[in-house]
């Protein structure tokens, strides 16, 4: 399910706008995979930040601005203990770049008339709610209910948050003035498909593997095994008369999670199944053959031998929508990067710390 971008973005209000993002929903200083050791309370975690980190139109971007910017991203305005000086030093290029980018975008949005307001947030939510599918909206309401909120109280709370107001204004500006049109034609999607068919190819089953489906009547006690056998024998008689009912019966009666796939277990190799099940599968000669009830430690199974899967390539029509989504996102990201580069040039941005190539 695709999550509505405005509803989703609002969950992350207060996050920063990075140059390589279309939506401002990712924090400027993401938590590292392995958190650094906690810094001593006496240590200055900002020691690696120079007094002046950049210039915008000749005006200094100061250490105090960066500290304030970072602190504002944190819960209750407090830096967590796992963030120490080494972490700040490593993340400084991203932090400074994000701060400068956000400042430039904010100024451009305000000049274009996209002013933050409580009303704009409410109106935007209402518009997006109208566009959301019933499934999306219900899932979002359930998420809110887990936090003790309704959709109305959530919107009212977010609408009063100045960070959310600012973020919505920036997003609206980006959508209307920066991205404008990111349409992808069928021809562009087909060209991508033709050049990347490996991405849409499902490999063949490994040599020596088996493919089967089953209907399991689970049992643990002697009485349950007796009952399971009776059910399995009855089902086997039905399938002998009409093998096409296998998937239907599996979905209705099987005790295995594979019932959701009509009993399909996919491909498996020797040793992956219990011996009784494996032996019974091997004994079936042709795809479509169905075994009599087979007893294992789990109960009684009715097994159908399935044809091995050959390497297959998904048809273009089946993946076209996904390809268009990916290419559209790439085009949007490229538009934002280009626009920010233009803003930096127009505002004579000068970074006074080293910005790695991948952060430019």
Average pLDDT on 204-210 reads 92
Which of 30 and 158 is assigned the larger pLDDT?
158
Q: What is the pLDDT of residue 12?
A: 36
Kind plus residue range of the DSSP H or E element containing 194 = helix 186-195
- The encoded tokens of residue 290 equal 């169905």
Distance CA 165, CA 111 (A): 16
Q: Are 36 and 79 a contacting pair, CB within 8 Å? A: no
Looking at residue 308, its pLDDT comes to 94
Which has the closest alpha carbon to 178: 343, 327, 357, 336?
336
CATH topology of domain 210-305: Chitinase A; domain 3 (3.10.50)
Q: Return the pLDDT at 75.
A: 79
Tens digits of per-residue pLDDT, 260-300?
999 999 999 999 999 999 999 999 999 999 999 999 999 99
By the 10 Å C-beta count (0-12 exposed, 13-18 middle, 19+ buried), 275 is classed as exposed
Distances (CA, A) of 129 to 119, 133, 155, 247: 15, 8, 11, 39
Alpha carbons within 13 A on the beta-carbon side of 136: 14
- Cα 214 to chain centroid distance, Å, stands at 33
| 151-159 helix and 134-145 helix, angle to the nearest 10 degrees | 80
Question: Using CA atoms in the order 190, 196, 198, 200, what is the torsion angle rounded to 10 degrees?
Answer: -40
**Segment 120-171, tens digit of pLDDT:** 999 999 998 998 889 989 999 999 999 999 999 999 999 999 889 999 999 9
pTM of the model: 0.60
Separation of alpha carbons 132 and 179, rounded Å: 21
How far is the C-alpha of 73 from the C-alpha of 344, rounded, in Å? 23
Domain ranges of the chain: 5-183+322-359, 210-305
Dist. CA 139–CA 129, nearest whole Å: 12
Residues 58-86: tens digit of each pLDDT: 999 999 999 999 998 887 888 888 889 99
Q: Which residue do the tokens 């399909």 mark?
A: 264
Q: Report the range of poorest mean pLDDT among 9-23, 189-203, 252-266.
A: 9-23
CA–CA separation, 325 and 333 (whole Å): 12
Tell me the mean pLDDT in the region 7-12. 40
What's the mean per-residue pLDDT of the chain?
87
pLDDT tens digits for range 177-200: 888 778 899 999 999 999 999 999
Query: Do the domains 210-305 and 5-183+322-359 match in fold?
Result: no
Quickly state the pLDDT bin for 29 (edges 50, 70, 90): very low
Compute CA distances 87 → 56, 90, 227, whole Å. 26, 5, 63
Model pLDDT, residue 43 = 61
The partner residues of 211 in beta bridges, in order of sequence, read 267
Q: How many CA atoms lie within 13 A of 10 on its CB side?
A: 23
Q: Which of 72, 81, 66, 105 is nearest to 31 (CA)?
A: 81
Q: How many CA atoms lie within 13 A of 149 on its CB side?
A: 14
Q: How far is CA 250 from CA 216, 232, 246, 276, 318, in A?
A: 8, 11, 6, 20, 27
Contacts of 222 (CB under 8 A, 6+ apart): none
CATH architecture of 5-183+322-359: Orthogonal Bundle (1.10)
């Amino acid at each position: 399910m695709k999550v509505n971008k405005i509803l989703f973005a609002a969950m992350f209000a207060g996050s920063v706008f990075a140059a390589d993002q279309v939506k401002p929903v990712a924090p400027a200083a993401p938590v590292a995979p392995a958190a650094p050791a906690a810094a001593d309370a006496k240590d200055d975690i900002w020691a690696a930040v120079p007094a002046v980190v950049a210039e915008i139109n000749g005006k200094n971007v100061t250490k105090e601005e960066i500290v304030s910017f970072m602190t504002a991203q944190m819960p209750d305005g407090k830096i967590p203990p796992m963030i120490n000086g080494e972490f700040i030093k490593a993340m400084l290029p991203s932090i400074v770049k994000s701060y400068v980018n956000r400042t430039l975008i904010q100024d451009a949005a305000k000049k274009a008339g996209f002013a933050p307001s409580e009303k704009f947030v409410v109106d935007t939510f209402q518009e997006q709610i109208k566009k959301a599918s019933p499934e999306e909206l219900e899932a979002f309401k359930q998420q809110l209910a887990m936090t003790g909120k309704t959709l109305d109280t959530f919107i009212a709370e977010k609408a009063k948050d100045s960070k959310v107001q600012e973020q919505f204004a920036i997003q609206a500006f980006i959508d209307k003035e920066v991205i404008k049109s990111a349409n992808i034609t069928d021809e562009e999607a087909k060209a991508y498909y033709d050049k990347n068919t490996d991405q849409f190819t499902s490999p063949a089953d490994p040599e020596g593997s088996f493919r089967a489906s089953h209907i399991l009547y689970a049992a643990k006690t002697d009485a349950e095994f007796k009952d399971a056998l009776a059910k399995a024998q009855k089902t086997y008689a039905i399938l002998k008369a009409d093998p096409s009912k296998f998937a239907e019966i599996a979905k209705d009666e099987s005790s295995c999670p594979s019932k959701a796939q009509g009993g399909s277990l996919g491909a498996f190799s020797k040793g992956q199944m219990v011996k009784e099940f494996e032996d019974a599968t091997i004994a079936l000669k042709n795809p479509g053959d169905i075994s009599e009830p087979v007893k294992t430690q789990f109960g009684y199974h009715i097994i159908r031998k399935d044809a091995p899967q050959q390497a297959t390539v998904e048809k273009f029509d089946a993946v076209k929508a996904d390809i268009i989504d990916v290419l559209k996102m790439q085009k949007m990201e490229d538009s934002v990067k280009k626009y920010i580069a233009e803003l930096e040039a127009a505002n004579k941005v000068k970074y006074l710390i080293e910005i790695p190539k991948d952060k430019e």
